[in-house]
Amino acid sequence: MTPTDELAAVLAVTNTDDRERLHAVDSPAPTLFTWDYDKGARPALKTLYEKAKKAQWNGETDLDWSIDVDPERVAMEMQGGDYRSRFLQRMADMADSPIASWREREWARYAIEAFSHRVSQFLHGEQGALLCTAKIVETVPWIDAKYYAATQVMDEARHVEVFGRYLHEKLRDPYPINAHLRMLLDDIIVDSRWDMTYLGMQIMVEGLALAAFGFMYQIATEPLLKQLLRYVMADEARHVAFGVLSLKEVYDGLSGAEIRDRQEFAFEATLRMRDRFMQQEVWERLGVDVRQMMRALLALPPEENEFQRLMFSKIVPNCRKLGLLDAGDGWLRTKFTEIGIIDFEHAPDTGEEYAEFDLGRAYQSEETIA
């Protein structure tokens, strides 16, 4: 794809109806009963299920919603303590930059909008996870996976609840779902093969979410957000582990052509997530020329875009762990090399970070969270 084609493809996807209340997606996947109730036939999934049952928390009572949040302050924190991240500064310095004349006021407004956009997309993504895991309960053939996925449905409901409450009570002007994210969620739900729901949601979207939450958790000092992220992250770490455990077993039995399908799906998802992070709607709301900003952002190498780096630093090693990078003729390795992100393959995968995020029994004890 030439840079002009790439730009056109990004710009062609926009939200058409901001007032849409419901969005229907047809899913042809068969719902599977299993009569094999042998619990523990997959011991790792059983362990995860037992762990999940003990690790339930309540978004209504475990988080202190009385905390006052200053949206401007928390938004600035999320930019790393400055209104401008390094890459935005670089954008501002470029010749003909549409944001060259920005002063502190504009940057402050940008920080608030960007944060509200980010939390809004987390909220919509969490709803995607809620629907996808409900679908996995129906479509996965193994009883241990149905049991585990049922706990994840509850987890995701809680995540939708707490992000929604934070966004609507503590921040201003939420954003509708980003069109690239909506297309990705649609693609995941439309696919009738049950393992694709896992690959799209549990590995790609959740892997990215865990990276993004971890990044925010590290820099946040706003106590409610920090608490909320800590709880959510502990759940998400289990979710990615569920995906990796299940898919490894499935992929071992697939043909070369079937593996290629999975590689292509993973690559498409990577591009959609990259495009979603360009935050078209934020630039639009701020009255900035979206085309010009998109062109500049696409031209930026991933190593200069901190958020993108972070995202690829989880997705690439997760794909490697699943054996997707080099399966068949190594198609996915070639594609990741082409878009300049193959260097992340040896970054710690999400599974390695699982222990770090796992709160274990800490859910019962408020002081370990504080």
The binding site for Fe ion (CB under 5 A) comprises 126, 129, 156, 159, 206, 236, 239
Q: Could you give the C-alpha distances from 46 to 146, 208, 243, 252, 364, in angstroms and in order? A: 10, 25, 14, 20, 22
Closer CB to Fe ion, 216 or 327, in the complex: 216
Closer CB to Fe ion, 220 or 294, in the complex: 220
* Distance in angstroms (rounded) separating the CA atoms of residues 144 and 40: 6
Could you tell me the smallest distance in angstroms from the CB atom of residue 19 to Fe ion? 26
Could you tell me the smallest distance in angstroms from the CB atom of residue 198 to Fe ion? 12
Could you tell me the smallest distance in angstroms from the CB atom of residue 52 to Fe ion? 11
Closer CB to Fe ion, 95 or 355, in the complex: 355
Could you tell me the smallest distance in angstroms from the CB atom of residue 204 to Fe ion? 12
Closer CB to Fe ion, 126 or 195, in the complex: 126
Side chain identity at residue 197, one-letter code = T
170 DSSP 8-state letter: I
Could you tell me the smallest distance in angstroms from the CB atom of residue 160 to Fe ion? 8
Closest CA to 221 of 62, 61, 59, 67: 67
Closer CB to Fe ion, 206 or 345, in the complex: 206
Kindly give the residue spans of alpha helices, DSSP state H, lying in the chain: 3-11, 43-54, 71-78, 86-93, 104-139, 143-165, 179-190, 194-197, 206-219, 223-252, 256-276, 280-285, 290-299, 306-321, 331-338, 350-357, 366-369
| Residues in the chain, overall count | 370
